[in-house]
Amino acid sequence: MEPLQQIDAVQQQVDEQFSTLTENQLNWKPEQSKWSIGQCLHHLITSNKTYFPSFDKLLKHEYRLSFFQQLNPFKKSFGPMMVKTLGPVPVKKFTTPKIFEPSSSALPATIVQDFRDHQKQFRNYIRQLLQLDTKHLVIASPVTGWITYSLADCIRILTGHEQRHINQAVNVLHHPNFPIV
C-alpha cells in the first residue's frame, strides 16, 4: 500500500474504532505496564512530530547531514532493519525512547480529534516529501544522529509504525476486560 493510502487507512480505522469512546475507555489499560488507546494515539503524535523540523528543512532544501552522517557506512542497512522491526507486525518488543513516550497522565477525550488533526498535518508532509528524491535523500533519526536512513525508508518506518500502534490500540479495545462505558 502506498504511504498516503496507509495514512488514510489508519485514520479511517481510528475514526471507526475509537471516535465514540469515552475518556475513561480511551485511558483504560489492560495492565499498568501497557498503554491505553489514548497513549497509543499520543505516542504516534509525539513520535511523528519529532521528524517535522527535519521535514521542513528537506522541503526548503536546507537539510544537511554532518560529516559523519554523510560517511555513515550503515545508512543503507539501518532503514530496512527499522522498517521491519517497527512495522505493523511486532517482531519483538522495544523500549520506547524517552522523546517518543506518551503522556503518563490521563488524556482528554479530544485525543482522537488531536490525532485526526495531526494526521492531516502528517499526510501533508508525506505528500510533499514524496515529490523529492526519497531514495537518495538521507535523514538522521531524531533519537540519535548516528542512525541514518533514506527518506523513503523513513516514510516506510513512520507509516508502518502508525499501523503497529493502531493494531496495539485495537487489541486494547478488544481486551475481555475493556470497559463498556
84 occurs within a structural domain: yes
**Alpha-carbon distance 69 to 150, whole Å?**
12
Mention every residue, 6+ apart, whose C-beta is less than 8 A from residue 78.
141, 147, 148, 149, 153
Q: What is the domain-level CATH number for residue 110?
A: 1.20.120.450
Q: Encode 100-110: b = buried (16+ Cβ within 10 Å), e = exposed.
A: bebeeeebebe
Work out the number of other CB atoms within 10 angstroms of the CB of residue 12: 10
181 occurs within a structural domain: no
Residue 73 has pLDDT above 70, yes or no: no
Least confident of 16-20, 29-33, 63-67, 104-108: 63-67
Got the DSSP string for 22-44? Answer: -HHHHH--SSTTSPPHHHHHHHH
Q: Print the domain residue range for 122.
A: 3-173
Total structural domains within the chain = 1
pTM here?
0.89
178 occurs within a structural domain: no
Confidence band, pLDDT 50/70/90 cuts, at residue 145? confident
**Higher-confidence position of 33 and 113:** 113
73 occurs within a structural domain: yes
Instruction: Kindly report, residue by residue over 108-118, the tens digit of the pLDDT.
Output: 999 999 999 99
34 occurs within a structural domain: yes
